Chain A
């Protein structure tokens, strides 16, 4: 094996690209869970975002349009989940699974004509001055705009949840929906908004996979990223900045194993490809040993105002 062929600057830079889809999806799901809803449909919304974003990107030639419509598509799909779980009071686990199965079918149906096409380019943004710094410049400041957008979104969600009244209401609804309801907050309204936001973020994350990370449409291309996003929410103990940490950690493992594959490691390819999933399990175990702090009190419970 040739370790020399692994360039550390490139490795860290590509880590940020590999992490961005999971980062976006996990951040969205964290907001949903903060509102007390468990949506297991992330994978389905991501793959739908991937195919819709790609189709729009190819047809308009604009990746930005692709991202925008993918976010809308993710949010639209999440509304099926919202209606069935919030108005018709169904089991959230089963409905979320249904959403994933539905999204996988829908995406391969929409994606058929787009197999083999190439995504429109998405120019990298060389931040003047900063990108010239040796070592750090190429790692941190020569990415496509979505990498920066994703980090700004973390900051925005953190600010909203921690310092604003809207964030307080959202957390109250997730912590104890009966109390929030008694105080006069619209539990369902808040949850609908949170679910829509989660869907939009998953859609963005999916579009990032098909427009930037892989730049083409391949059936089932999110390959469990949506599920890993769910695991990262647990890893992050429902805190925004830890989402960033978790996503980058996971992205790092993914990129490292891909680099080892390319460098002709003696470890068989299959064992390298399964490593991100095994490490996710190990991380979940370590987090669980410490106890389940941070999980919103009403997470996954059906809310029914009986009065």
Chain B
């Protein structure tokens, strides 16, 4: 018998659940510092460049602070949707594909009316973007409910399919006719005002995608705490058998969770392509769909937690760019840093779910 034992808590400790993300961030800073030292950078300077300078440095702050909302918006939007499914044990790993398809369908819907100046164009694009992501997520949802096909693998395969569709439309269907043959669509943010996702309050980075992210946080919070569907999601995740006896339909749950996640990821893609990115291009997608998985877990699959986690993860992106610029840090170091964060978080969950007992187990008579 081992000397250190884990004893399952009757219910996860709420205090520790809230504390583990903070502990994980600190542990990541320490481990990341060691990594930066190995890469030949001063670890304290690197940590300061990533976590402090983007917010408070007088030189970089004014540029970086608005970027925080720009980057956090799509991450929060996608992670909110993913978390609904994760809580119910439905693993949508293909948000990146849904994000791409939202951008493609949404941008396509807008570009079809170029150069119209109708104020209806942008709302129409928003609907089309949400639809694109939703429809793409319906593929794994329907295959799972109809045939029992694993949604992890199907949603992931569809990311590669979506990437190829993106490559195809950016050099074909949606290519800018005035672009002298170069791949990529018209720049909506620059050349097509009716289709552009503008900054709502100048200099803050607040665009419609950020507004949508805040609405999604509130929507998810109300859903999870006040609505029957939220109850069904929680029950299905914590006690699948009990959920079936309580009359929760797995089919409806799968369609709802994947569909919502897809629509939100699609919205994120549309807001990105019509705003910060500006145009459809071959490498338009930037891995937000995957990073959002970390955001969802870091936020404890809780809407408010995801809001905070999204801001933190956005900070690592911006700080990472700054570290590339100032310290010559490779871009991949930040990805590694984000991966470590997820590892530490998952590892520390043990404290929330189990009690650590030291000593020999007592013999139960």
Contacts and interface: CB of A to CB of B under 8 A. Distances in A.
A90 B150 contact: no
A277 B153 CA distance: 10
Contacts of A109: 330, 332-333, 336
Interface in A281-307: 281, 284-285, 288-289, 291-292, 304, 306
B164 to A, nearest CB: 4
Interface residues of A, number: 48
A85 to B, nearest CB: 8
A102 B349 CA distance: 19
B152 A273 contact: no
> A interface, by DSSP: helix, strand, loop or mixed?
helix
Contacts of B294: 98, 101
A97 B153 CA distance: 12
Given A93-B91, A274-B160, A88 B349 contact: yes
Given A109-B336, A285-B147, A97 B293 contact: yes
A91 B167 CA distance: 35
Interface stretch (B69-77, B247-255, B337-345): B337-345
A15 B185 CA distance: 37
Contacts of B338: 101, 105
B120 interface: no
Contact of B342 (A101, A104, A289): A101
Contact of B168 (A83, A104, A107, A271): A271
Interface in A94-120: 94-95, 97-99, 101-109, 112
Contacts of B293: 94, 97, 101
A237 to B, nearest CB: 13
A271 B342 CA distance: 35
B161 A101 contact: no
Contact of B147 (A271, A273, A277, A289): A289
A278 B160 CA distance: 9
A304 B168 contact: no
Q: Is the interface of B mostly helix, strand, loop or mixed?
A: helix
B352 to A, nearest CB: 11
Nearest to B156: A227
Interface string B262-292: 0000000000000000000000000000100
A291 B149 CA distance: 9
A172 interface: no
B324 to A, nearest CB: 12
Interface string A217-243: 000000110011011001000000000
A106 B343 contact: no
Interface in A176-231: 223-224, 227-228, 230-231
Contacts of A102: 336, 339-340, 342-343
8 contacts: A84-B343, A93-B152, A97-B342, A99-B339, A270-B165, A270-B167, A281-B157, A284-B153
The 9 closest A-B pairs by CB, nearest first: A102-B339, A105-B335, A105-B336, A270-B168, A108-B332, A274-B164, A90-B346, A98-B342, A109-B332
Interface of A: 40, 80, 83-84, 88-91, 93-95, 97-99, 101-109, 112, 223-224, 227-228, 230-231, 234, 268, 270-271, 273-274, 277-278, 280-281, 284-285, 288-289, 291-292, 304, 306
Given A224-B160, A231-B153, 9 more contacts: A88-B348, A88-B350, A90-B346, A101-B294, A102-B340, A105-B334, A227-B156, A231-B157, A268-B168
